[in-house]
Structure 1
Amino acid sequence: MTEFAELHHAEEPLFLPNAWDHASAAALAAQGFRAVGTTSLGVAAAAGLPDGASATRDETLRLALALGTGSFLLSVDAEGGFGEDPGEVGEFARQLAAVGAVGINLEDGLGSARRHAAKIAAVKAAAPDLFVNARTDTYWLGDGAGTRERLDAYQQAGADGVFVPGLTDPAEIACLVRHLGDLPLNILYSPTGPTVPHLTDLGVRRISLGSLLYRTALAAALDAAADIRAGRAPHGTAPSYADVEALARRSEPGHSARR
């Protein structure tokens, strides 16, 4: 079992913040987070591209190349794998693993469960050590129908964990945890849903922030601009120019991510 996989079976669940560029990932790692994920929305928006439309394959790979040699464990949000052909998805996963990523998030978008299972199997064949977090959008895009059947199929295809964004009801989360057994359940944190301690008590093994940090950063920038324009000092704190410059520096050549 890899170090990243072990974090999903530790006493405390894996709390995974999501970055959108090199500086945000480095800043999170500097705060002591052992693992950092990427957010497809943040990566897409920063590049002026749509999220969930398979438009950011190159941007995602470039970011993984920049982050994969960091001191933290990197999990990459790859939307639906940037293609419908399982072989092409497997090749993309192999490239991610080659640059240092230890995990991949694959979403089904409520498309064919059989096709998504084939993508998962292709990823595990191409990059066996890459932790596959298989996401279903049954709650994100629907009413939750078919969740267990999809997750069972993804587990059988080789998924190392499963992700159900949009699921916030504590009773339903607890039931799903019991159904999954040892398969780690990832829940997307929601400010209106259960707290991190509550999710821990429910048996959730991974808690992601998704695009929340990116959206919060945008809101803070807009608030600061409005305050300054109105003659007020901006609220909150900001890192210095030198601090951000330091965060933007990549790791020294030859330094590889922990596995």
Structure 2
Amino acid sequence: MTRSPRRTPPVTAFAALHHADEPLLLPNAWDYASAQALAGQGFRAVATTSLGVAAVAGLPDAAAATREETLRLAFALGARPLLLSVDAEGGFDDDPDEVAEFARELYAVGVAGINLEDGLAPAERLAGKIAAVKKAVPVLFVNARTDTHWLGDGDTADTLSRLDAYQAAGADGVFVPGLTDPRRISALVRHLDAPLNVLYSPAGPPVRELADAGARRISLGSLLYRRALGAALRAAADIRSGRTPAGPTPSYEDVTDLLPRGHGAASAPRA
């Protein structure tokens, strides 16, 4: 298949992280405090997780239901000294112009990147959204996700065809969650012009092996949110059983130090 030549993407601080000596290990936050805490641990950039944002709001994931919640979190975080990428599902709309407007709103509040997924819909649908976003906000890093390995059977020809279409539309990076075989990652990297993003899984290869295979961005997805929820359930069960919960517990002050100042601190006793 002959690919259309790609224009040179804008060089931004966030884009540069995908071309550094070490791949970008990108943790995903689900609220303001988790993003600030991760940034405080020295991560070069932080992303949001659509599952975490949806779960916090009591809304379904991957159903275009969390546009306002996602924008609200981006507004809170974008003004901070933080390189932020937003998981926007499929853009929360099938109209490319509406997706471009959402991307414009994200960029206006300081967001550095957006992740858009195809959900195995026809490739031209996501390609149209990518092209509209890049026309509206050329410097916003667009990471285009195909779900051929996540929701489909991992067909190689379908994966390559979709990624070619997304690169031709202007995607700055491409994302194939569910792809974990280092040999298949290496083969895909050889085909691509854009940096490849893969999803880390505790059951899959370690970060070093994914990096050696050529992945330039390694996302944690909803893993941290699910681990946090699991730790809370374990702590509650331990307390109910008379055991002292194991693991670190941030203090009240540790958490409040992550939050914005000047909005009227509570005077009630701290718990």
TM-score above 0.5: yes
- The residue that corresponds to 1:67 in the other structure is 77
- Alignment of 1:90 with 2:100, yes or no, is yes
Q: Deviations over 1:54-113 (max 9, x none)?
A: 000000000000000122200000000000000000000000000000000000000010
- The residue that corresponds to 1:231 in the other structure is 242
Helix, strand or coil at the partner of 2:142:
strand
Bigger CA radius of gyration: 2
- Alignment of 1:179 with 2:166, yes or no, is no
- The residue that corresponds to 1:255 in the other structure is none
Q: Deviations over 1:99-140 (max 9, x none)?
A: 000000000000010011000000001111100000000000
Q: What is the CA-CA distance between 1:251 and the residue it aligns to?
A: 10
Supply the RMSD in Å over aligned alpha carbons.
1.2
What is the alpha-carbon distance in structure 2 between the residues aligned to residue 71 and residue 24 of structure 1?
A: 15
What is the alpha-carbon distance in structure 2 between the residues aligned to residue 57 and residue 211 of structure 1?
A: 18
Q: What is the CA-CA distance between 1:250 and the residue it aligns to?
A: 6.2
What is the alpha-carbon distance in structure 2 between the residues aligned to residue 72 and residue 43 of structure 1?
A: 18
> What are structure 2's unaligned runs of at least 5 residues?
1-10, 264-271
Amino acid corresponding to residue 90 of structure 1 in structure 2: A
Helix, strand or coil at the partner of 1:235:
coil
**What aligned pairs does 1:2-41 form with structure 2 within 5 A after superposition?**
2-41=12-51
What is the alpha-carbon distance in structure 1 between the residues aligned to residue 44 and residue 211 of structure 2?
A: 18
Helix, strand or coil at the partner of 1:248:
coil
Q: What is the CA-CA distance between 1:144 and the residue it aligns to?
A: 1.4
- Alignment of 1:216 with 2:227, yes or no, is yes
The TM-score normalised by the length of structure 1 is 0.95
Helix, strand or coil at the partner of 2:258:
helix
Amino acid corresponding to residue 65 of structure 2 in structure 1: A
**Does the 8 A contact of 1:29 with 1:71 survive in 2?**
no
- Alignment of 1:52 with 2:62, yes or no, is yes
Amino acid corresponding to residue 202 of structure 2 in structure 1: P
**Does the 8 A contact of 1:70 with 1:251 survive in 2?**
no
Percent identical: 73
What is the alpha-carbon distance in structure 2 between the residues aligned to residue 137 and residue 193 of structure 1?
A: 18
**What aligned pairs does 1:91-170 form with structure 2 within 5 A after superposition?**
91-145=101-155, 146-170=158-182
What is the alpha-carbon distance in structure 2 between the residues aligned to residue 71 and residue 179 of structure 1?
A: 35
- Alignment of 1:76 with 2:114, yes or no, is no
Q: What is the CA-CA distance between 1:158 and the residue it aligns to?
A: 0.1
**What aligned pairs does 1:189-200 form with structure 2 within 5 A after superposition?**
189-200=200-211
Distance 1:250 1:149, change over 3 A: farther
Amino acid corresponding to residue 96 of structure 1 in structure 2: L
What is the alpha-carbon distance in structure 2 between the residues aligned to residue 32 and residue 50 of structure 1?
A: 31
**Number of matched pairs:** 251
Task: Spell out structure 1 runs of 4+ moving beyond 3 A.
Answer: none
